[in-house]
Amino acid sequence: MEKFDFIEMTIPSKADYIGVVRLSLSGIANRIGFSFEDIEDLKVAVSEAITNAVTHAYDEEDKGEITIGFGVYDDRLEVMVADSGVSFNVDEVRRRVGPYEKSKPLEDIQEGGFGLFLIDALMDEVEIHDNSGIIIIMTKFINETGVDLDGDQISTTS
Amino acid sequence: MDLQIKHTEKNEQTIISLSGEIDAYTVTKLKETFSTTMNSEGKDVIVDLEEVTYMDSTGLGVFVSALKTAKENDGELKLVNVQDRVYRLFQITGLNEIMDVNKAAIRGVNE
């Protein structure tokens, strides 16, 4: 298997700590060499995933935890957001997610208004797995040419 | 990682100047501000986002509901001085088509 560094954070399932994750994410993405624009996209996408987890995962009495995993590769950053509150083994999670067609298509998951839509628009690959708790795995590739490649429905006009 | 909200009344207009980050945590404060300022008839509210360095869909949601309230009360909601990165979210979601979102200042806001 391809070698990569893995960084894991666990936060209480509260909106209070989303900003803390964004700060860590900025640092990690900056270390990999992402552009300022891509780092901003990553910040929004990851915050949306955590916001979803905070809003939907737990009932009031048991707030639980959210685990965020950063897979640092040479050419990409893979971010996993899991609301099960259980620390996860990255290989195990990747095995469970399996081929893409087994994952739920994004359109079938009706949560959080624009949140998932933005994740899909801002990241290059998104997988959602909802077996025991929802796990969102999203990947952004480093754009070496400096040209915005992820322009599926995004056009930047000014 | 916080959101500062400054609130000024000028003639018939309410100007809300925001500074900092809008996310699921700070948005609560913003919701309160809108619910106290937007409940009178025919009021025009201008939101200055010049100092907003980060925003996600929680911000979009609050502005959408503020726009609804404004319309119900025959008022208007304008967003001005929106930074490129923040404006991009309005573009991606198509909300710039239904909201008055401006990258540039309008007269009287940025004196």
- Side chain identity at A57, as an amino acid letter? A
- SS3 category, A99: coil
Residues facing B47 on adjacent strands? B16, B79
Residues facing A136 on adjacent strands? A81, A128
As a three-state string, the secondary structure of A17-77 is HHHHHHHHHHHHHHHHCCCHHHHHHHHHHHHHHHHHHHHHCCCCCCCCEEEEEEEECCCEE
CATH class of B3-101: alpha beta
Structure-block tokens of residue A89: 């083994």
Structure-block tokens of residue B59: 């911000």
Residue A158 is predicted with a pLDDT of: 40
Pairing of strands B13-22, B44-55: parallel
Distance in Å, alpha carbon of B41 to nearest chain A alpha carbon:
28
**Interface contact A113-B60, CB threshold 8 A:** yes
> What does the alpha-carbon distance between residue A39 and residue A116 come to, in Å, rounded to a whole number?
18
Digitized pLDDT (tens) for each residue of chain B, 111 residues in all? 699 999 998 877 899 999 999 999 999 999 999 988 887 777 889 999 999 999 999 999 899 888 888 888 888 999 999 999 999 999 998 888 888 999 977 665 544
C-alpha angle with apex B58: B104 to A150, nearest 5 degrees? 70
Domain membership flag for residue A148: no
The distance of Cα B53 from the centroid of its chain, to the nearest Å, equals 14
Structure-block tokens of residue B4: 């500062």
Cβ contacts of A46 on chain B, cutoff 8 Å: none
Residue ranges covered by each domain of chain B: 3-101
**Interface contact A155-B91, CB threshold 8 A:** yes
Show the domain range for A82. Answer: 5-141
Query: Each residue of A79-126: pLDDT tens digit?
Result: 999 986 554 565 665 555 544 443 444 344 333 468 888 999 999 999
- Side chain identity at B18, as an amino acid letter? L
> What does the alpha-carbon distance between residue A139 and residue A124 come to, in Å, rounded to a whole number?
6
- Side chain identity at A43, as an amino acid letter? K
What is the value of ipTM here, to two decimals? Answer: 0.89
Count of domains observed in chain A: 1
State the DSSP code for A62: -
Domain membership flag for residue A72: yes
CATH of the domain at A100: 3.30.565.10
